[in-house]
Amino acid sequence: MDKFTVLKEYFGHKDFRNGQAEMIDNILNGCDVLGIMPTGAGKSLCYQVPAIMMSGITIVISPLISLMKDQVSSLVSAGVSAACINSSLTSDEYSETMHRICCGEYKLVYIAPERLGTQEMDRLVSSVDISMITIDEAHCVSQWGQDFRPSYLHISEFISSLPHRPVISVFTATATDTVRDDMIRLLGLNEPFTMITGFDRPNLRFSVIKPQNKYAELKKLLGGFGDKCGIIYCLSRKNVEEICEKLNDDGFSATRYHAGLGDAERRANQDDFIYDRKQIMVATNAFGMGIDKSDVSFVIHYNMPKNIESYYQEAGRAGRDGSPAECILLYGPKDVRTNNFMIEKSREENSDLSAEEKETMLERDRMRLRDMTFYATTAGCLREFMLRYFGEKAPSYCGNCSNCINGFEEADITVDAQKIVSCVYRIKQKGRYFGKNMVIDVLRGSSNERLLSLGFDKLSTYGIMSDVSVYTLRAELDFLITNGYLDFTGDEFPVVELTPLSAKILKERINIKMKLPKKPQKSRKNKEQEFPADEKLFEKLRGLRSRLASEANVPAYIVFSDAALRDMCRLRPVDREGFLNVSGVGTHKADKYGEEFCRLISEYIEEEKE
């Protein structure tokens, strides 16, 4: 099978995304690879496709149990044999899995880093053929990364202990240059082929809101999201408790997650969210790493996080399946103080660092917080700000962030300025000056009585700006006054007057520019992102998916992503062949689910005819 066949057969996709094919080809050629790709870019496929194609097994080292479980269920539901080894297995399950691995039953085996170097592991690796070692969340190996894990430091030792060195593929979503160098060095990569794809996630809409009352704003936002699911991040456990309780009192379906809860409750709450029994997860940043739920429609930050890295990672948990999603930051100046306090407090904690190292770390944290605050308060494009922060070039207008949508832009108002000033001039020729409203009324061609009785409708400037909104016209007039091109004086009834500078506009025709609210522009959309053409059918498909998922005891998105359901709405397949054309449908899923989905769609089409 070639890589395209594997892609279609098992994963149901027609094309590779940016970077995937190159990564796969290099792995198959035996070259180590390093992929720095944002969340949702499709890193998993980069190693899963070659893992299926290679003769031996692939060992995937992954830091979190929930992440492994999710990946394994996804693979199994796509018809790929996979398993995981971690501390959540009972000893019977453990021996059983080990036995099957030795019999070569699995193509992919996920392992927690702590397991490497145990005796069983040593025995195991000497008896099976390992084609590849994959290291997920590889930035954990670096002390400069966000989530340093000492156990990652033993990986290279483990690799050198293998009888043959397999090809090594390494992935992460975030890596500065320092972290990248650390990964290459500490994981012992051999001149890796490196793929860095852009950080941009066009389907995410970024917004910053500065509400008077955060909770009221939150409720308003949630009201607008209907039954979609999402995450609310808070800075403190106390905040999580409070908001979760209030939301439940207010009739929302919310659960909570933070490090202060017992293991059992955390797991139960997380499952409630993943299996769609609860719609909203209120959590501290302890929640999320390893959460692969692909249909999260919104991530709201109730407080500003401590740096842009964390923000982008947490917000990026929205819209992983490529559907449009919202990332909203509720900003209050108090958040800066809270973060500062937490940064100072962390000084006491890191006990294994020298005083000097601590001071450097602290200074870095303060700088990161400053950048985060700039993000929350900038008037420019939020996407541009973020991408530049990560060292990428980006246009200054994305059309899909709150600043681009509501923001201001520099507009050339030379012609408007000429019209306004000449209107004031014409009015003056009639004998005297008038207030702002009269100027605006004349320019817009109003037919108010006073204007008509003065004969201003006969002025040559009457109605020449009827296509400009009152709001804009007033803003332009005010701009000319503030900048001295016109004057506005008089005690009781101030009037608009000409100034010496007015001539510059009329005679010299100088260029005038000012910041004006942007004209409403359609936000960027792609075919996949559009709302399902047929919401009724979409709901029915969702219903079927949810039944099948609960029968199989897996989260709904493991059966099909929202993007796949949307594609079904668009294509309306009624037979296996048509069903295979749906994005996200491979042979295994077509066999398993095709009949039921096609039946539902045919019935729907019949109903529609009637």
Which amino acid, one-letter code, is at 405? I
Among Zn ion, ligand ADP, none, what does residue 398 contact (CB within 5–8 Å per kind)? Zn ion
Q: Which helix (H) or strand (E) holds 168?
A: strand 167-172
The residue written with tokens 């999201």 in the block is: 225
Which residues are CB-contacts of 143 (< 8 A; sequence separation ≥ 6)?
A: 182
Per CB under 5 A, the segment of 267-275, 321-329, 394-402, 458-466 that binds Zn ion is 394-402
- Total residues interacting with ligand ADP, rule: CB under 6 A: 17
Per CB under 6 A, the segment of 32-40, 278-286, 338-346, 393-401 that binds ligand ADP is 32-40
Among Zn ion, ligand ADP, none, what does residue 321 contact (CB within 5–8 Å per kind)? ligand ADP
Q: Is 589 in the site for ligand ADP (CB under 6 A)?
A: no
Q: Is 317 in the site for ligand ADP (CB under 6 A)?
A: no
Residue 586 contacts residue 10 (beta carbons within 8 Å): yes
Which residues are CB-contacts of 383 (< 8 A; sequence separation ≥ 6)?
A: 200, 206, 394, 398, 400, 401, 404
* Cα–Cα dist 169/192, whole Å: 8
Q: Is 44 in the site for ligand ADP (CB under 6 A)?
A: yes
Closer residue to Zn ion, CB minimum distance, 507 or 519: 519
Closer residue to ligand ADP, CB minimum distance, 154 or 228: 228
> How many other β-carbons are positioned within 10 Å of the β-carbon of residue 150?
11
* DSSP tag of 138: G
Burial tier of 342 (Cβ tally within 10 Å: 0-12, 13-18, 19+): middle
Q: Is 201 in the site for Zn ion (CB under 5 A)?
A: no
Q: Is 37 in the site for ligand ADP (CB under 6 A)?
A: yes
Q: Is 588 in the site for ligand ADP (CB under 6 A)?
A: no
Choosing from 6, 24, 27, 45, the residue that interacts with ligand ADP (CB under 6 A) is 45
Residue 387 in 3-state DSSP?
A: helix
Q: Is 297 in the site for ligand ADP (CB under 6 A)?
A: no
Per CB under 6 A, the segment of 37-45, 367-375, 409-417, 495-503 that binds ligand ADP is 37-45
**Alpha helices, DSSP H only, in 20-103?**
20-28, 43-53, 65-77, 91-102
Residue 10 contacts residue 62 (beta carbons within 8 Å): no
Nearest 5°: phi and psi at 174? Answer: -130, 135
Choosing from 107, 214, 278, 320, the residue that interacts with ligand ADP (CB under 6 A) is 320
Closer residue to ligand ADP, CB minimum distance, 313 or 339: 313
| Closest approach of ligand ADP to the CB of residue 527, in Å | 13
Residue 281 in 3-state DSSP?
A: strand
CA–chain centroid gap for 123, Å, is 42
Total residues found in the chain within this entry: 610
| Closest approach of ligand ADP to the CB of residue 279, in Å | 20
Closer residue to ligand ADP, CB minimum distance, 297 or 403: 297
| Closest approach of ligand ADP to the CB of residue 201, in Å | 10
* Cα–Cα dist 148/168, whole Å: 20
Closer residue to ligand ADP, CB minimum distance, 43 or 301: 43
Residue 183 half-sphere exposure toward CB, CA atoms < 13 A: 29
| Closest approach of ligand ADP to the CB of residue 443, in Å | 53
Per CB under 6 A, the segment of 38-46, 259-267, 499-507, 515-523 that binds ligand ADP is 38-46
Which 449-488 residues touch ligand ADP, going by CB under 6 A?
A: none
Q: Is 13 in the site for ligand ADP (CB under 6 A)?
A: yes
Dihedral sign, CA of 100, 103, 108, 110? positive
Residues in contact with ligand ADP by the rule CB under 6 A: 13, 16-17, 20, 37, 39-45, 292, 294, 320-321, 561
